[in-house]
Structure 1
Amino acid sequence: MKLNAQQLRDLEEQKAVGTIKEVKRNPIYFILENIYDTYNIGGLFRLADAIAVEKIYLCGEMEIPPNHKIKKASIGTYKIVPWEYKRSSKEAIEELRKISNFQFPISNEFSNSKLQMKNNETMKQFNNVNLNIIAVEQNSKSTDYRKTDYRLPLALIFGNESYGITPETLALADQIVEIPMWGINKSLNVIVSAAIVSYWVMNKR
């Protein structure tokens, strides 16, 4: 089922619960850290829905739904994408790392990836699989996002618009990647950065 912007905005909370269950989610998490701009938060919800992430973690100093600006920018996708607030990215990462058994609804499109599915199953159990945590940030230790192994299951960390991801959070990531910049501007909008990396992951699956 596909809904347009108006239908998503008008979708009642109770009906949204049923819609959530219909989505075949990919084994990808978003960890958003100190995103101040509510437009960006809403846009990231919309992106998360587009690639059917498993869950969004909203961490640190940031607004959360049902903030009216987030509702508007997300065109209602905040009702569709599972999310949770954490006081810090560390809490989100620690929670994910503690999970020893992963069970994700996976599209058949993943059947040619490392996550081979048997008999076209839409569910696969991952036992004792380590979550791959990748921070998207410009850093002395970062590598080109196109030269990274995005092993699934995967968590992508995106940081503050002005100051990026905190050093404490970067230290918890398995890898740090960045998007090349050829002009004077140092960085891209966080939604744009997230979209570039996310769709690269989906295309490389």
Structure 2
Amino acid sequence: MTPERYQRIRNMLAKRQTDLTVCLENVHKPHNVSAVVRTCDAIGIHKVHAIWESRYGIRRGTAMGSERWVGVDTHQNVGDAIRALKANNMQVLVTHLSDEAVDFRAVDYTRPTAILFGQEKYGATDEAIALCDKEIVIPMVGMVQSLNVSVAAALVLYEAQRQRQNAGMYQIQQLTEAECQRILFEGGYPVLAKVCRSRDLPYPVIDDRGQIAADDAWWAKMDINTSAFKSLLNA
């Protein structure tokens, strides 16, 4: 990993917002899921949540590689998902057109916040709406009453980013150093990270030049010599 790439990753990690997330309730179309994840990466969300009846993959072409940097926690049902979010002291918002819904721009996103988006055709389920703390709506004056889920997510999330930037929240690192080290190794040395996982070996430390700081014992357990190491990096 070059020093330039190391610094770029470090700068990204310093701005990650661990107390802001989205929850996708049975959003099944891969291009929608991938587009939401791409937006999450762009505004600094560290992890998203998804409720899927079965596992759906993230389409890499749409995500543009952002799936490597944004974690995805999956849940079997909406109740489990919302309980997990509230256990982290998050206010849980849901996009839903109703008399109780408030303009999405009227919400305080500097609080720990999760935003739930429902399935493409039917929206959020009644169970999800009942469990969430507040309903939000994106005002529209045309003939349509809803936006594509990825577009709706982008609008709400950039309002959250605007508020957090104004509050100086992107100037304070939220990720632990241990989590930063994990991401630096997996993002900077993905092939070696795969070898570590396959051999149940601990990740090494990445130094401030982006290089692996490991002793001879670690390299011996990896069973990689210098030439083999270069071959792995070029694979």
TM beyond 0.5: yes
Residue 80 (structure 1) aligned with residue 39 (structure 2): no
Aligned equivalents of 1:22, 1:145: Cα separation in 2: 26
Q: Check the 8 A contact 1:35/1:62 in 2, yes or no.
A: no
Match of 1:36 in 2: 28
Stretches of structure 2 that go unaligned for 5 or more consecutive residues are 165-235
2:46 touches 2:69 (CA, 8 Å); kept in 1? no
Q: Does 1:53 align with 2:12?
A: no
- Counterpart residue number, 2:126: 167
1:53-132 alignment to 2 at 5 Å? Answer: 53-61=45-53, 63-65=55-57, 70-99=59-88, 130-132=89-91
Matched position secondary structure for 1:53? coil
Percent identical: 30
Q: 2:151 corresponds to which residue?
A: 192
Residue from 97, 105, 126 that aligns with 1:138: 97
**Larger strand proportion of the pair:** 1
In the superposition, the TM-score normalised over structure 1's length comes to 0.69
Whether the aligned pair in 2 keeps the contact of 1:20 and 1:81 (CA below 8 Å) is: no
For residue 20 of structure 1, report the CA deviation from its aligned partner.
8.8
CA distance in 2, matches of 1:191, 1:62: 20
Check conservation: 2:78, 2:127, Cα contact below 8 A: no
Q: What TM-score does the superposition give when structure 2 sets the normalisation length?
A: 0.61
Shift of the 183–22 alpha-carbon distance from structure 1 to 2, 3 Å rule, reads closer
* Deviations 1:149-177 (CA, angstroms, capped at 9, x unpaired): 32421111111111000110111111110
Structure number with greater Rg is 2
Across the aligned residues of Structure 1 and Structure 2, the Cα RMSD in angstroms comes to: 2.2
Residues of 2 paired with 1:180 and 1:35: CA distance?
Answer: 22
SS in 1 for 2:141: coil
Number of residue pairs the alignment of both structures matches = 156
Q: Look up the match of 2:142.
A: 183
Cα distance change of structure 1 residues 182 and 62 upon mapping to structure 2, 3 Å threshold:
farther
